[in-house]
């Protein structure tokens, strides 16, 4: 275009020079004759008149273009003049464009020249290191422009901007467990445009290495053109590729988690058994890390189909939505706490039991001392002690102690039953009853002072 403009200007100059020469010849056909002042003025008037006419003829065309462009693209007069000038005279040099549009951080500078947004080039497009631009020209997708400076062709517009930086989105996935309990899980996806090694579609694998943010043209075109138009209340909204990946992640997580019951995610009983070193009767809950691995694998496959590289997926824990569940777990936790309290109580009981044993020993010593007190004097005098006396002495001591209270009895005999059976036995002996009666006692409960081993 620049060349054409130069040619046009050259043509005008040539016409003018030629015309000046021919007018000279036409006015002074006789060589050697000097022109008068009047003739010189006429000469210059004719030449200037032609120059003005040429300028007006040329300028009128430009003005016609300006007026047409102004109406055609709905521009202001200044914008239209600028556009026509660029269309007619600009070269590919940034300086000659006069209009610069910046693209950075994944978006076009909205404060940039309106005419470039509306009509497009010629203009100079400056794409920052973190962005890639897809352009359109007259209803066709035209080029994929990576980081750097690019002259935009006439009517070439920015159609889409793709951010090369890794994108992170966090979603809360609501789902129903297999046993019908509403639950949720928070997850994060980090993804970016697929590099050349990840692209599996397309014919041409034109790749670039823009500093550390690598990309493939095919992947850019794919993510740009695979957006979904969604109807919302106020009209339509276009979901970009990151929203698409978040949606895919949500779907994969829901499809995975809904295959399990709530207890398979969170099972306090299992961990209680684990803590107490008991054999595990409860099912082992699913570890989030295991699920995360499977989900990441699935979402990476989805990403490959869409020209997106999934860098990582992070999952939080599964939380039941219902308050009742949490309350139940609280109750379980309370029960666990109660168990500890019970353990303390049992320990106190043991201490008490130990004291009781000690008391029992004391009572026994007292009992033995009393029996010995009575029998020792006779034995010391060398008198033979008959069995009958032994029995009556013991019975007497027992009766004496019996009057002291139930504690003594319990200390000596584990149960009153035994005391009673012993008393009956003594009575039998004293009354010299029939041997058969003793058989009955023996069969019922052997008279014994045997105490618990403890």
Residue 369 beta carbon to other proteins: minimum distance, rounded to whole angstroms? 7
Q: Are 172 and 185 in contact (CB under 8 A)?
A: yes
356: contact with other proteins by CB under 8 A: no
29: contact with other proteins by CB under 8 A: yes
CA 232 to chain centre: 25
Identify which of residues 212 and 275 has a Cβ nearer to other proteins in the complex: 275
CA 90 to chain centre: 50
Q: E strand or H helix at 8, and its extent?
A: helix 2-27
Angle (CA) 301-303-305 rounded to 5° is 75
What tokens appear for 310 in the block? 């999934």
384: contact with other proteins by CB under 8 A: yes
Identify which of residues 168 and 254 has a Cβ nearer to other proteins in the complex: 254
What tokens appear for 445 in the block? 């409960």
Binders of other proteins among residues 42 to 61 (CB under 8 A) are 42, 45-46, 48-50, 52-54, 56-61
Identify which of residues 190 and 325 has a Cβ nearer to other proteins in the complex: 325
Paired strand residues for 168 = 190
Binding mask 273-312 toward other proteins (x if CB under 8 A, else -) reads x----x--xx------------------------------
Of the residues 87, 302, 311, 356, which one makes contact with other proteins according to CB under 8 A = 87
394: contact with other proteins by CB under 8 A: yes
- Among 212, 185, 1, which Cα is nearest to 97's? 1
Residue 138 beta carbon to other proteins: minimum distance, rounded to whole angstroms? 5
Q: What is the C-alpha to C-alpha distance for residues 299 and 252, in angstroms, rounded to an integer?
A: 7
Residue 70 beta carbon to other proteins: minimum distance, rounded to whole angstroms? 7
15: contact with other proteins by CB under 8 A: yes
Of the residues 3, 110, 211, 229, which one makes contact with other proteins according to CB under 8 A = 229
226: contact with other proteins by CB under 8 A: yes
Of the residues 2, 6, 10, 11, which one makes contact with other proteins according to CB under 8 A = 11
Binders of other proteins among residues 115 to 154 (CB under 8 A) are 136, 138-144, 154
Residue 364 beta carbon to other proteins: minimum distance, rounded to whole angstroms? 5
Residue 212 beta carbon to other proteins: minimum distance, rounded to whole angstroms? 26
- Grouping H, G, I as helix, E, B as strand and the rest as coil, residue 30 is coil
Q: What is the C-alpha to C-alpha distance for residues 66 and 204, in angstroms, rounded to an integer?
A: 41
Binders of other proteins among residues 170 to 189 (CB under 8 A) are 174-182
Helices (H), 277-322: 288-306
Residue 217 beta carbon to other proteins: minimum distance, rounded to whole angstroms? 8
Paired strand residues for 239 = 228
The answer for 421, left when phi > 0, alpha when psi is -120 to 50, beta otherwise, is alpha
Residue 19 beta carbon to other proteins: minimum distance, rounded to whole angstroms? 6
Phi, psi of 174 (to 5 degrees): -90, 135
- Tell me whether residue 316 is exposed, middle or buried, using C-beta atoms within 10 angstroms of its C-beta: 0 to 12, 13 to 18, 19 or more: middle
- Tell me whether residue 154 is exposed, middle or buried, using C-beta atoms within 10 angstroms of its C-beta: 0 to 12, 13 to 18, 19 or more: middle
What tokens appear for 108 in the block? 């076009």
- Tell me whether residue 443 is exposed, middle or buried, using C-beta atoms within 10 angstroms of its C-beta: 0 to 12, 13 to 18, 19 or more: exposed
223: contact with other proteins by CB under 8 A: no
333: contact with other proteins by CB under 8 A: no
Q: If binding means CB under 8 A, how many residues of this protein chain bind other proteins?
A: 127
Of the residues 2, 6, 13, 74, which one makes contact with other proteins according to CB under 8 A = 74
Residue 324 beta carbon to other proteins: minimum distance, rounded to whole angstroms? 5
Residue 139 beta carbon to other proteins: minimum distance, rounded to whole angstroms? 3
């Amino acid at each position: 275009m620049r060349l054409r403009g130069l040619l046009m200007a050259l043509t005008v100059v040539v016409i003018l020079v030629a015309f000046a020469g021919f007018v000279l010849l036409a006015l002074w056909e006789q060589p050697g004759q000097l022109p008068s002042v009047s003739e010189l003025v006429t000469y210059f008037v004719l030449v200037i008149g032609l120059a003005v006419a040429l300028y007006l003829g040329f300028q009128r065309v430009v003005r016609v273009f300006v007026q047409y462009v102004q109406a055609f693209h709905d521009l202001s007069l200044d914008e239209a003049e600028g556009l026509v000038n660029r269309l007619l005279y600009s070269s590919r040099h940034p300086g000659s464009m006069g209009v610069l549009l910046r693209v950075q951080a994944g978006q076009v500078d909205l404060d940039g020249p309106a005419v470039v947004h509306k009509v497009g080039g010629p203009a100079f497009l400056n794409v920052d290191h973190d962005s890639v631009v897809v352009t359109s020209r007259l209803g066709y997708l035209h080029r994929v422009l990576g980081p750097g400076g690019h002259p935009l062709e006439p009517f070439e517009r920015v159609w889409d901007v793709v951010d090369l930086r890794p994108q992170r989105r966090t979603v809360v996935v609501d789902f129903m467990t297999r046993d019908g309990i509403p639950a949720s899980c928070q997850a994060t996806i980090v993804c970016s445009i697929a590099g050349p090694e990840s692209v599996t579609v397309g014919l041409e694998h034109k790749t670039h290495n823009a500093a550390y943010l690598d990309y493939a043209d095919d992947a850019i075109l794919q993510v740009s053109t695979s957006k979904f138009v969604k109807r919302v209340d106020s009209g339509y909204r276009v979901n970009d590729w990151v929203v698409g990946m978040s949606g895919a992640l949500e779907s994969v997580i829901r499809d995975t988690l809904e295959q399990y019951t709530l207890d398979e995610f969170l099972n306090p009983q299992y961990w209680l058994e684990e803590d107490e070193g008991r054999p595990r009767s409860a099912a082992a809950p699913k570890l989030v890390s295991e699920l995360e691995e499977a989900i990441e694998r699935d979402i990476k496959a989805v990403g490959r189909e869409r020209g997106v590289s999934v860098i990582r997926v992070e999952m939080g824990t599964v939380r039941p939505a219902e308050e009742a569940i949490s309350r139940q777990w609280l109750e379980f936790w309370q029960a666990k706490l109660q168990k500890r309290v019970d353990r303390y109580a049992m320990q106190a009981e043991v201490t008490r039991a130990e004291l009781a044993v000690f008391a029992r020993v004391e009572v026994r010593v007292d009992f033995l001392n009393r029996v010995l007190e009575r029998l020792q004097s006779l034995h010391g005098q060398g008198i033979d002690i008959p069995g009958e006396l032994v029995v009556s002495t013991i019975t007497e001591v027992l009766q004496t102690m019996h009057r002291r209270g139930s504690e003594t009895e319990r200390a000596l005999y584990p149960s009153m039953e035994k005391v009673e059976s012993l008393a009956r036995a003594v009575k039998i002996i004293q009354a010299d009853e029939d041997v058969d009666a003793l058989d009955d006692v023996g069969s019922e409960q052997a008279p014994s002072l045997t105490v618990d081993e403890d």
